[in-house]
Amino acid sequence: MSLNTRMNSFWLSKESNASLRRLLPRLEAKYKDKTDHAEWDMYMGRLKRHFPRLFEHLHALYGTDYDFFYYLENTLSSATEMWLARPPELKALDAMREADPHWYLSHRMVGAMCYVDLFADDIEGLRKHIPYLSEMGITYLHLMPLFKVPQGDNDGGYAISSYREVNSSLGSMEALAELASELRDHGISLVLDFVFNHTSDEHEWAKKALAGDEEYQEFYRIFPNREMPDAYESSMHEVFPDDHPGAFTYSNRMKKWVWTTFNNFQWDLNYENPAVFNHMTEEMLFLANQGVEILRLDAVAFLWKRLGTNSQNLPEAHRIIQAFNAIASIAAPAMVFKSEAIVHPDEVNKYIGLEECPLSYNPQLMALLWDALATRDVRILKRAMEHRFKIPNGCAWVNYVRCHDDIGWVFTNEDIEAMGLDAKQHRRFLNQFYTGRFEGSFARGAPFQENPLTGDARISGTCASLTGLEKGVAANDQTEVDLAIRRILLLHGIIMMIGGIPLIYLGDELGMLNDYDYDKDPAKTGDSRWLHRPHFDWKGAEQRHDTNTVAGRIYKGLLRMIQLRQQNLAFTRAETEFTDTGNPHVFGFFRNHDQYSVLVLGNFSEKEQSLDARRLRHMGMRKTMVDLHAGRTLTATQELIMEPYQLMVLTRAV
Ligand code: GLC
Ligand code: GLC
């Protein structure tokens, strides 16, 4: 630590202590008598513990504002009021989670995600389908945003008009809170989004801004002319070029330019304004009080903007999240954060930490699984995992094959170039491959936000359509269908076993294909991501126990892997160690748990592959091994033969 940082941290802790000394009596006077004194003391304990880091971040963000102390006090008052309003059931959960703060590292964790309307019509319908989730062993359910949104296009719920109202076609806030509690009774944690980078242009704040209220215009990033927008844009990338060029939208009503990173109806909030931070604190804790256990922080990369940068992943964005984290630790400690940063892998990792986001999507693994499937070569995947899979203790990846968004090729250029490939060409190849334009490709996907100027694109399509099932079924080609099923199971097998929480997009367990009808819906047309957001196929689900059907084969294969994960110590809080299998088509890693370890092998090609048995023995494997996945014992004297796309889970004696 340099002298400067030491002095700075000394100064900070002095000021933070002084602020707390001034604030505590004021909070006590206002709130102490509103609750049980023992409970109050516990709350105070947490406040004292987490206040220093809250102070540090807020001071760095807003300390130069003359009214800093006013906002600091407001924020603590908000937190305290929200904590007082927290239902007893959730305060009990707080206590339970504080006793086992890393509960989400358990191998019992299996995630699923869905749109409430597409899966079950509404919240009531979802309640009825809890048994379906339980049958699969789901313990984590991410419901896509279900709040009040504008009619028509609302980016699948990501343009929120009120964080406190549920979209009336789905149910009510009371129904949502009841659902959270019922899910919890079934061992399922509710995961919801905190869409905090932007609101819809119909949010009350935006409406006031539109009406000319300058106080609310300060809630967003609004400019009188093109001067600043042009200056910012000169160093930025476009995120949704199909919707509008650049990052700004002109409002005829205000005759001003509004920062809109995504769609023109999604207005970016201005976190330089401490009032925004304060209000969003209340919205966040309101969600926590409905029973959310994992909060998915949407679009974290974009929270802060600075001239001359690409306005992504700025240090202040991290501070905002860390400040929210400190507040949640004080007022709703049962809730943990998961980051949604779909950016360069090194930037993704920076959001991960116990005091920021203990959970994070793993977009690099997702992208490289698809890469390995297209190239039949696992070397880039292996290299990238060796460098970036390890994250701090107590944190976990959320590993997924597919989500509701497009597949972006968010791996590093260096990892591609290390293979002697050109990164740009390689991304182009993957786009060609997954849109089915590449000769011989098994995939049936569509481009998303294709940028004709730069040639960039991302990919839409369901897991089944991208792995060849759509093509195989259309051609009535049993071999193709069989290979596609193997590919689906292989990808899911890796996310189950690799370490972290696997996340299944509901419908993928039945092999649901692309929904081309989305184009007929005016609210969805033009956004190809709806291709892979079909209505859940409950007819198909009825066939899930019939292994003569495609749905049944996938479902059964998946259930088996979930069982394997949930009943095997090797998958709990265990180290992942990547290994060179000596065969570029076969991905391999150990999961090591104290006295017990397994070797997971995945063949990413449609051809049989062999592994040298001597090499396996050097890795500590015996000649005779048990494949937990196939449920059989095998002996490898000279070589170990793997079937096309086979996944093996071999026990290693230690
Ligand atoms: C996130 C969501 C995506 C949405 C965007 C804007 O990336 O996953 O669906 O379009 O944020 O909210
Ligand atoms: C708003 C806030 C002020 C802050 C400014 C920065 O005007 O009230 O405190 O410094 O935004 O954008």
pLDDT in tens, 607-630: 999 999 999 999 999 999 999 999
Closest atom, ligand 1, to C-alpha of 403:
8
Report how far ligand 2's centroid is from the alpha carbon of 67 (Å): 10
In angstroms, the CA 586 to CA 604 distance is 6
Which DSSP state fits 262? S
* pLDDT tops 80 at residue 117: yes
Question: How many A from CA of 223 to the centre of ligand 2?
Answer: 14
244 alpha carbon, distance to own chain's centre = 25
Compute the average pLDDT of residues 638-649: 97
- Ligand 2 centre distance from Cα of residue 276 (Å): 10
Contacts of 483 (CB under 8 A, 6+ apart): 442, 468, 472, 606, 644, 645
Q: Which long-range contacts (C-beta less than 8 Å, at least 24 apart) are formed by 482-486? A: 483/442, 483/606, 483/644, 483/645, 484/442, 484/511, 485/511, 485/550, 485/553, 485/554, 485/557, 486/644, 486/645, 486/646
Is the shortest distance between the CB of 115 and ligand 1 below 6 Å? no
Terminus-to-terminus CA distance in the chain, angstroms? 41
Any atom of ligand 1 within 6 Å of the Cβ of 268: no
Rounded-to-integer distance, Cα 259 and Cα 274, Å: 18
113 CB near ligand 1 (under 6 Å): no
Residue minimizing CA distance to atom 3 of ligand 2: 273
| pLDDT of res. 462 | 98
What residue spans of 202-273 are helical by DSSP H?
204-210, 214-217, 227-233
Assess whether pLDDT exceeds 80 at residue 415.
yes
Instruction: Compute the distance from residue 9 Cα to the ligand 2 centre, in Å.
Output: 25
CB atoms within 10 A of CB 603: 27
What's the pLDDT at 6? 82
pLDDT at 198 over 90: yes
Q: How many CB atoms are closer than 10 A to CB 515?
A: 18
Q: In what order do the strands lie in the sheet with 256-259?
A: 222-223, 256-259, 248-251
Q: Closest-lying ligand to the alpha carbon of 305?
A: 2
Q: Mean pLDDT, to the nearest integer, of 341-357?
A: 97
* Residue 316, ligand 2, Cβ within 6 A: no
Residue 240's pLDDT band, with cuts at 50, 70 and 90, is confident
CA atoms within 13 A on the CB side of 592: 11
Q: Answer yes or no: is pLDDT of 653 > 70.
A: no
Instruction: Say how many C-beta atoms besides its own lie within 10 A of residue 237's C-beta.
Output: 13
Q: Could you say which ligand is closest to the alpha carbon of residue 273?
A: 2
Name residue, tokens 């992943």: 313
pLDDT tens digits, one per residue of 129-162: 999 999 999 999 999 999 999 999 999 999 999 9
Ligand 2 neighbour 450 (Cβ under 6 A): no
455 compared with 462, residue with greater pLDDT: 462
Condensed to tens digits (0 to 9), the pLDDT of residues 33-86 reads 999 999 999 999 999 999 999 999 999 999 999 999 999 999 999 999 999 999
Distance from residue 329's CA to the centre of ligand 2 (Å): 27
pLDDT of amino acid 82? 98
Closest CA to 91 of 29, 142, 35: 35
Report which protein residue has its CA nearest ligand 1's atom 10: 155
User: Residue 291's pLDDT is what?
Assistant: 98
**What is the tens place of the pLDDT at every residue in 501-555?**
999 999 999 999 999 999 999 999 999 999 999 999 999 999 999 999 999 999 9
Question: Among the atoms of ligand 2, which is closest to the Cα of residue 64?
Answer: 10
Interval between CA 219 and ligand 2 midpoint (Å): 9
CA distances from 594 to 349, 569, 629, 654 (A): 26, 9, 21, 9
**Using CB atoms within 10 A of its CB, is residue 639 exposed (0-12), middle (13-18) or buried (19+)?**
middle
Q: Give me the active site residues, please.
A: 298, 340
Q: Is the pLDDT of residue 438 over 70?
A: yes
269 CA distance to ligand 2 middle (Å): 12
What pLDDT, on the 0 to 100 scale, is given for residue 289? 98
Spell out where 99-188 has E strands: 111-114, 140-143, 147-148, 162-166
Q: Please work out whether the CB of residue 278 comes within 6 Å of at least one atom of ligand 2.
A: no
Arithmetic mean of pLDDT over the chain: 96
User: Which residue's CA is the closest to the ligand 2 atom numbered 11?
Assistant: 273
Residue among 158, 295, 406 to mutate when testing ligand 1 (max atoms within 8 A of CB): 158
Give the pLDDT of residue 453.
79
Q: Note the pLDDT of residue 241.
A: 82
CA gap 157, 150 in Å, rounded: 9
Nearest ligand 1 atom, CA 405? 9
Q: Is the CB of 448 under 6 A from ligand 1?
A: no
Report which ligand 2 atom has the smallest distance to the Cα of 71.
9
What percent of the chain is modeled with pLDDT above 70? 100
How far apart are the C-alpha atoms of 276 and 201, rounded to whole Å? Answer: 16
Using CA atoms, how far apart are residues 283 and 535, in angstroms rounded to an integer? 30
Residue 336 banded pLDDT, cuts 50, 70, 90: very high
Residue 654 has pLDDT above 80, yes or no: no
State the pTM of this model. 0.95
Question: How large is the average pLDDT for residues 592-601?
Answer: 90
Ligand 2 within 6 A of 273 CB? yes
Q: What is the mean pLDDT of residues 434-457?
A: 92
Considering every ligand atom shown, identify the ligand nearest to the alpha carbon of residue 275 and give its number.
Answer: 2
Q: What percent of the chain has a predicted confidence (pLDDT) above 90?
A: 94
| Residue from 434, 536, 591, 558 nearest 491 by CA | 558
